[in-house]
Structure 1
């Protein structure tokens, strides 16, 4: 029976409001107990932990319902399709796959913007129920650097832009008719350009994969898409800017330098806060932190003298945050390295060509070996408007840490 997305959305909203009201009541009860020098019972603490968990689950369901509503164009329950599912359910796949699987020659491409998104489209007729239950997908790294950045679209092979190299703020209070004129601030710029980079890779697969849409989907999602996004992640962060490489955020960022804050027993958490201050002194506000997963785990496991976690709640479903900023964990940064900055204001990324999948039997000796080549590629660029808006460093701490 189809799920009524609107009804589900309203129900989750109501449930979330009820949980929030209960948490508010417990918070008031806690404040009263503190004033009266009393402690909350273990039962009450357990209820609060349970409600926090429920709140996190409801927030996740609410986000899923909102996304489903956004993809629902005719009142039917919409679906969020992976790259592999979009290829398997596309009109191009429906029209070409059978002929190629039966021994024909040729190739076809599926641009993502043209892929169908409804389950009852022509391509969906090829989708069959899963034959083998319990298939375990390879562990995938979650990539979020793309989400931190402001993305635009370009139709050019290179992007010319103005890079801000300095700002002197001379704003001041003046009289009605100042004899010496009003103060002049100074912003210095330089012209720069960045080339659009192509990120691509391919794999060989048996021709039989074209007869099984589910198998094709797993190849694309489990191998091609993951590998493409992993390389995109590395390029956006650490691209050298030499040759065909993107000039990455970490590559262009300013080096960490304590502007004069006295810190006793310097810690990883202290260093990140000072890096945020360094961004602020460059007239920007940091809106994200990027860490290696090992370093973030070390921070999450920080405890006080009584063995209680300081930054983490093992019972909560909340996303990772530190000093009020979202934390992105990625192995594209080496252990002990960190990056923070104004990702939304200090830089912009550009999509020249969305991820496209091309399937062909005409690559080398594919035809006589019953093989197909599956190619996945995209074209992107990155422009950093103010390098001082990003600060990089490492966690090589002082001897007192």
Structure 2
């Protein structure tokens, strides 16, 4: 077995100069540590002026300079080894050196990378001792290009984030309604529909005046809001997040629909009865009034005639924008500076911006005291393959529903501003 020939390195002037400078700096640092002794006492160091802090800073600077020079030497060593390899190949092929193990270059064979580098301006710049040479442009010809099409396509892994479709958030409206439970198919209650107060001052022996009271039974039917989604067995089995995603989005759809029904459900058929459709609520037309004026007049009616205090007013963002941007003649915002934080209010009543409100009306009322969301059964999610031909097709039907009733106990405690 023949020993491998040592690697040939061509030490051009720039490399020699860089090594000499590196060694000089190393010797300088070694001399300082020799002065400091085994305890690294900076007071013993006389070759560096200044106090201990100044000497330590000098050592840090010197060490950084050594690192920089070492990096330069490593860079030049790479060039020197490349030059040596190219020289070896050149001598072998020209017959100046006998290395039988190296095959002769075939006719038409291209130069090696080392040979091309030796002939480049970059290496000539280094070899003349300039220290920095121009970039090397090597024209290489590859018979087979190993690229994306012939190798691996880049692998990209999803982050895990699912950006939801832009839609109205929920719940938003039902948060203002007290929630109760019921085990009945409808919520039945009595409303006092006649109240005649005949109380009056009466003389001794005089006739008492007769009062009149009458009650009427009211009922709000429990209605069902439902939705279902078809999906395949594979989707549910192979993607771990699909179950959680579906279980989140279907209930969200129910809450979103419930928000809408609480305000504008017409109460016909299987619809819930929303505030805007309740018979007997207060109404205030905007007319030529500014929106704040019309809203205040509605609040006054609710207080004077409904003997209630509005707890919220629901309006679309485009309508509230008209109020929020109102300015005085000299350009001052009337409804507060843009930097003012907190919940927006209109005459002290919280404003709830939601596109569940009508496009041309604002709905207000004392939801805290005179409304109720009676839940017969909370949101229920079920999965089955017994829908149509789903069993033989390997599909599943995921369904979700909720049963509840919306009750407005005192119609005059609610109202709307129309004509917006």
Q: Find the partner of 1:156 among 173, 181, 184.
A: 184
Write the deviation string for residues 52-71 of structure 1: whole angstroms up to 9, x where unpaired. Answer: xxxxxxxxxxxxxxxxxxxx
Compared with structure 1, are the counterparts of its residues 385 and 264 closer, same or farther at alpha carbon in structure 2 (3 Å cutoff)?
Answer: closer
Q: Which runs of 5+ in 2 are unaligned?
A: 1-156
- Structure 1 position 376 matched with structure 2 position 403: no
Q: Find the partner of 2:277 among 251, 255, 269.
A: 251
Match of residue 289 from structure 2 = 266
Compared with structure 1, are the counterparts of its residues 218 and 375 closer, same or farther at alpha carbon in structure 2 (3 Å cutoff)?
Answer: same
Compared with structure 1, are the counterparts of its residues 157 and 345 closer, same or farther at alpha carbon in structure 2 (3 Å cutoff)?
Answer: same
Match of residue 196 from structure 1 = 222
Match of residue 311 from structure 1 = 335
Match of residue 221 from structure 1 = 248
Compared with structure 1, are the counterparts of its residues 296 and 271 closer, same or farther at alpha carbon in structure 2 (3 Å cutoff)?
Answer: same
Compared with structure 1, are the counterparts of its residues 216 and 251 closer, same or farther at alpha carbon in structure 2 (3 Å cutoff)?
Answer: same
Write the deviation string for residues 269-307 of structure 1: whole angstroms up to 9, x where unpaired. Answer: 111111011000121111111112211122222222233
Q: Find the partner of 2:159 among 112, 126, 132.
A: 132
Return the alpha-carbon distance in structure 2 between the equivalents of residues 216 and 159 of structure 1: 35
Query: In the comparison of the two structures, how many residue pairs are matched?
Result: 260
Match of residue 70 from structure 1 = none
Q: Which runs of 5+ in 1 are unaligned?
A: 1-129, 397-401
Q: RCO (CA 8 Å, sep 6+): is it higher in 1 or 2?
A: 1
Shift of 1:149: 1.2
Indicate if the aligned counterparts of 1:153 and 1:352 stay in contact, CA closer than 8 A: yes
Find the residue that maps to 1:201 and give its secondary structure. strand
Match of residue 387 from structure 1 = 411
Write the deviation string for residues 243-292 of structure 1: whole angstroms up to 9, x where unpaired. Answer: 2222221101524248xxxx996210111111011000121111111112
Return the alpha-carbon distance in structure 2 between the equivalents of residues 276 and 166 of structure 1: 24
Compared with structure 1, are the counterparts of its residues 196 and 285 closer, same or farther at alpha carbon in structure 2 (3 Å cutoff)?
Answer: same
**Aligned positions of 1:72-151 closer than 5 A:** 132-142=159-169, 143-151=171-179
Find the residue that maps to 2:378 and give its secondary structure. strand
Match of residue 38 from structure 1 = none
In the superposition, the TM-score normalised over structure 1's length comes to 0.58
In the superposition, the TM-score normalised over structure 2's length comes to 0.55
Shift of 1:186: 5.4
Compared with structure 1, are the counterparts of its residues 257 and 133 closer, same or farther at alpha carbon in structure 2 (3 Å cutoff)?
Answer: closer
Shift of 1:317: 4.1
- Structure 1 position 354 matched with structure 2 position 382: no
Shift of 1:312: 4.6
Find the residue that maps to 1:256 and give its secondary structure. strand
Q: Which has the larger radius of gyration?
A: 2
**CA RMSD between the two structures:** 2.9
Compared with structure 1, are the counterparts of its residues 179 and 314 closer, same or farther at alpha carbon in structure 2 (3 Å cutoff)?
Answer: farther
Shift of 1:392: 1.8
Write the deviation string for residues 149-203 of structure 1: whole angstroms up to 9, x where unpaired. Answer: 122110011121112335456678x79x976588876554311112110110111
Indicate if the aligned counterparts of 2:316 and 2:358 stay in contact, CA closer than 8 A: yes
